[in-house]
Amino acid sequence: MPPAVYDIEIRVAQTLHLIYSSPGEYWDSQCSEDEEPFQKDSLMNLTLAVRLRAGSDLSWISNIQVNQPAVLRRAEQIQARRTLKKEWQAAWLLKAVTFIDLTTLSGDDTFSNIQRLCYKAKYPIREDLLKALNMHDEGITVAAVCVYPARVCDAVKALKAAGCDIPVASVATGFPAAQTHLKTRLEEIRLAVEDGATEIDVVINRSLVLTGRWEALYDEIRQFRQACGEAHLKTILATGELGSLTNVYKASMIAMMAGSDFIKTSTGKETVNATFPVAIVMLRAIRDFFWKTGNKVGFKPAGGIRTAKDSLAWLCLMKEELGDEWLRPELFRIGASSLLTDIEQQIYHHVTGRYAASHDLPMS
């Protein structure tokens, strides 16, 4: 459990102590009369009540300002301001490979293509190309393999057969729309974890954001967190459906307060996916959260990242907005399926000086 969550639990315990020892005093200090009645039996609600009614924490999302035109402008600039050439490009591209959550989320996924994907995850770049760059012994693999819950078993099996410990990530909670009952969404997480997924990409309930029910959103994500147990929690904000950048910031902050290990831009199934303006807002939220709590939360853009050039732009964005410490797989992932092929082609070109034909590189 990350320290942020741990802190919360301590504070809950302290507050509980106060409530039970002198309830009158607590309520005088915390509540006005018109607030909803207190539910003593729900620990989760209490946690929420303590965190959000404490005032300072709610201010984390109530006082924020995001100016959309200015963010768009920054997004335009940041893509043009850094370029990488030659060795730098090759090294950065290899680094990008290690951030990839190699993903297949299709209705027609079966064991055979999952298996192929897992082998590609283990051997993302042709061995001779890595040798030419003197990088063959760095153990370059992608960061994780990401599949639907029903395919987790296949992936675990395939990776085991390939003899590697690349984590399996599973989407969950009614992916991609999250329009199922909370109970089944929670159950989905537990089943995926049981099948061997060590990272869970949950998708938030957009209706809670759009109706401004931040406390309920916090509550849900807290329950996801608990259902995950030891597994990492990546929270997909589906930013294309949140309506405004201000909502993106608020949802990011709530997701981090509720204990997410990563916040992720989109499912890849919305009409608008990972865009730079959205990413800038999320990264600023991550930095603010870090400054307030000391906890580093990871970032995962997903959807629409297809070219090597795109991936470099995302790495530069991370370096510029958050710094080098976020440039590691524990804190940065790129959700992608076809990106790896393009990176391999670029590496091929860097090493050989020629552009690769499609048959030069193994398919995934």
Partner 1 sequence: MAATHERPSAREIFSTLEYGPAPDSHACALAWLDTQDRLLGHYVNGKWLKPEHRNSVPCQDPVTGENLASCLLAEPDDVAAAVEAASDALGSWSGVPGGERAQHLTRLAKMIQKHQQLLWTLDSLATGRAVREVRNGDVPLAQQLLRYHAVQAHVQEEVLPGWKPMGVIGLILPPTFSFLEMMWRICPALAVGCTVVTIVPPDSPTPLLLAQLAGSLGAFCGILNVVTGPASLGAVLGHCPGVQKVVFCGAAEEARVLRQSLAGHWLELSLALGMESLLLLLDSADVDSAVEGIVDAAWSDRSPGGLRLLVQESMWEETMRRLQIRMKRLRSGRGLDGAVDMGTRGAAARDVAQHYVQEAQSQGAEVFQAVTMPPGSPFYPPTLVCSLPPAAPCAQAEVPWPVVMASPFRTAKEALAMANSMPRGGSASVWSERLGQALELGYGLRMGTVWVNTHGLRDPAVPSGGCKESGSSWHGGLDGLYEYLQPPGTPDQPPFVSEHLNYDNFGPAVPATLPAWPETGPSPVPPYGLFVGGRFQPPGARSSRSVWDSSGKLHGYVAEGGAEDVRGAVEAAHRAATGWERQCPGARAALLVALAAALEQRGPGLALQLKRHGAQLEAAQAEVELSARRLRAWAAQAQAQAQGHTLQVAGLRGPVLRLREPLGVLAVVCPDEWPLLAFVSLLAPALAHGNAVVLVPSGTCPLLALEVCQDVASLFPAGLVNVVTGDRDHLTRCLALHQDVQALWYFGSAKGSQFVEWASAGNFKPVWVNRGCPRAWDQEPQGAGPELGLRAAWTKALWLPMGD
Residues at the interface with partner 1 (CB under 8 A): 65-74, 77, 80-88, 90-92, 94-95, 133-135, 138, 244-246, 284, 315, 319-320, 323-324, 327
| Closest CB 83 distance from partner 1, rounded Å | 4
| Closest CB 75 distance from partner 1, rounded Å | 10
Cα gap 83→91, rounded to integer Å: 13
**Nearer to partner 1 among residue 108 and residue 324 (C-beta):** 324
**Nearer to partner 1 among residue 41 and residue 324 (C-beta):** 324
H/E/C letters for each residue in the chain? CCHHHHHHHHHHHHHHHHHHHCHHHHHHHHCCCCCCCCCCCCHHHHHHHHHHHCCCCCHHHHCCCCCHHHHHHHHHHHHHCCCCCHHHHHHHHHHHHHHEEEECCCCCCCHHHHHHHHHHHHCCCCHHHHHHCCCCCCCCCCCEEEECHHHHHHHHHHHHHHCCCCCEEEEECCCCCCCCCHHHHHHHHHHHHHHCCCEEEEECCHHHHHCCCHHHHHHHHHHHHHHHCCCEEEEECCHHHCCCHHHHHHHHHHHHHCCCCEEECCCCCCCCCCCHHHHHHHHHHHHHHHHHHCCCCEEECECCCCCHHHHHHHHHHHHHHCCHHHCCCCCECEEECCHHHHHHHHHHHHHHCCCCCHHHCCCC
- From 154, 234, 300, 310, active-site residue: 300
**Nearer to partner 1 among residue 215 and residue 288 (C-beta):** 288
**Nearer to partner 1 among residue 67 and residue 110 (C-beta):** 67
- From 201, 219, 261, 342, active-site residue: 201
| Closest CB 88 distance from partner 1, rounded Å | 3
| Closest CB 335 distance from partner 1, rounded Å | 20
| Closest CB 296 distance from partner 1, rounded Å | 15
| Known active-site residue 157 | no
Q: Of 155, 164, 77, which Cα lies nearest the Cα of 124?
A: 164
Q: Whose structure tokens read 């999302």?
A: 61
**Nearer to partner 1 among residue 189 and residue 322 (C-beta):** 322
Q: Of 329, 319, 323, 243, which Cα lies nearest the Cα of 278?
A: 243
Q: Whose structure tokens read 């959700």?
A: 335
| Closest CB 98 distance from partner 1, rounded Å | 9
Sign of CA dihedral 325, 328, 329, 332: positive
**Nearer to partner 1 among residue 12 and residue 129 (C-beta):** 129
**Nearer to partner 1 among residue 83 and residue 184 (C-beta):** 83
- From 250, 264, 310, 342, active-site residue: 264
| Known active-site residue 95 | no
Helix axes 214-228, 43-53, angle to 10 degrees: 130
| Known active-site residue 360 | no
| Closest CB 61 distance from partner 1, rounded Å | 14
Active centre residues (catalytic): 201, 264, 300
